[in-house]
Amino acid sequence: MYKSADLTTIKPFMTGADMDRADQIRVDPDKLAEVMNWRARLLKLDALVPGITPEGGLLWNSLGELGENCEPLFLGMQEGKAHFVELPPRDGTARPVQYDPRVWQAIAHMPRADLALYGAARSLVDWHNRHGFCAVCGSETHVAKGGWARHCSNCGAEHFPRVDPVSIMLAEHDDGSQKRVLLGRQPRFPAKRLSALAGFIEPGESIEEGVARELWEEAGIVVRDVRYVTSQPWPFPSSLMIACIAQTDDPALTLDTTEIEEAHWFTVDEVQAAMANDPEAPFIAPPPFAVAHDLLRYWLDQQEKN
């Protein structure tokens, strides 16, 4: 199988699971039954919080640990073993999902392959949790294709897990003497934290049009020459972050303050200081597990090359 590390030079967190998702097994009940043997491993999430080993990795159980009325969702094959994640029953007994600081602690210390697997598993379980009914007819749906679909036995509709593409971007302005990038803060950010602007891509627009619209709506700037940089799955709950850099000729800002509290332009030196966690830096950089961090690192690297 391919190795994620060979695919890109930038390697955002949440990528690199390197598990064969084995779609030929998903769609074949006989093959699926065959891999549900004593070697099979099971990840259990408690309201989406993973079990963690003393070393900080994902805690895998044997498939025999599957809880009563739970369903196993097939994640894929690794080292000859089938890997599943447990879907809790829809009977009201599961603990409700809420913001949990243990998730962020676990993420900060988890090996990267485990983190990527957790992200996939979390997105999948969360999608099932929130999609028990058919959007077409309102009837109950049930798990299909090893966990990668839900089927409505009333109207026959098949529903697939959502992946919501999000554009996340640096606007860059070159005034002839120096280049600067635009960073902003959402009201929910911790103090002094700034990051790249972002927004969901909508029906009828390309990635690049999504980038231009967000910068127009949120910061009031007109951009040109949008360049793709990297991408990252973000399982809160099901985003695909698509990171880009766009150019602007006019840095004057008109902020949509319902979306962003403040936004400013920063020089290479200022971004460098923030990325080095310099206490004198004008802002706190996005954390390493956010793709905005990779985007700023890439931008700094490009400046050094020029």
Under rule CB under 8 A, residue 200 binds its own copies = yes
* CB of 54 vs its own copies, minimal distance in Å: 25
- 134 neighbors 154 (Cβ within 8 angstroms): yes
Q: Which of residues 33-92 bind its own copies (CB under 8 A)?
A: none
Under rule CB under 8 A, residue 138 binds its own copies = yes
Stretch that binds its own copies, among 33-41, 54-62, 196-204, 293-301 (CB under 8 A): 196-204
Under rule CB under 8 A, residue 32 binds its own copies = no
* CB of 135 vs its own copies, minimal distance in Å: 4
Under rule CB under 8 A, residue 303 binds its own copies = no
Under rule CB under 8 A, residue 306 binds its own copies = no
| Three-state helix/strand/coil letters over the chain | CCCHHHCCCCCCCCCCCCCECCHHHHCCHHHHHHHCCCCCEEECEECCEECECCCCCECEEEHHHCCCCCEEEEEEEECCEEEEEEECCCCCCCCCCCCCHHHHHHHHHCCHHHHHHHHHHHHHHHHHHCCCECCCCCCEEEEEHHHCEEEECCCCCEECCCCEEEEEEEEEEECCCCEEEEEEECCCCCCCECECEEEECCCCCCHHHHHHHHHHHHHCCCEEEEEEEEEEEECCCCEEEEEEEEEECCCCCCCCCCCCCEEEEEEHHHHHHHHCCCCCCCCECCCCCCHHHHHHHHHHHHHHHC
- 161 neighbors 124 (Cβ within 8 angstroms): yes
* CB of 189 vs its own copies, minimal distance in Å: 21
Q: Out of 132, 156, 187, 288, which residue is the one contacting its own copies (CB under 8 A)? A: 132
- 242 neighbors 12 (Cβ within 8 angstroms): no
| Residue partners of 6: CB distance under 8 A and separation at least 6 | none
Q: How far is the C-alpha of 94 from the C-alpha of 89, rounded, in Å?
A: 7
* CB of 81 vs its own copies, minimal distance in Å: 18
Tell the residue number behind the tokens 């999609």, with chain if given. 131
Q: Out of 32, 58, 103, 134, which residue is the one contacting its own copies (CB under 8 A)? A: 134
Q: Out of 36, 97, 100, 133, which residue is the one contacting its own copies (CB under 8 A)? A: 133
Nearer to its own copies, 51 or 220 (CB): 220
Under rule CB under 8 A, residue 98 binds its own copies = no
* CB of 167 vs its own copies, minimal distance in Å: 10
Number of residues this chain uses to bind its own copies (CB under 8 A): 75
Q: Out of 33, 35, 79, 164, which residue is the one contacting its own copies (CB under 8 A)? A: 164
Q: Which of residues 217-246 bind its own copies (CB under 8 A)?
A: 217, 222-226, 228, 230-233, 235, 238, 240, 242, 246
Nearer to its own copies, 127 or 266 (CB): 127
* CB of 194 vs its own copies, minimal distance in Å: 22
* CB of 8 vs its own copies, minimal distance in Å: 5
Under rule CB under 8 A, residue 182 binds its own copies = no
Under rule CB under 8 A, residue 206 binds its own copies = yes
Nearer to its own copies, 26 or 185 (CB): 26
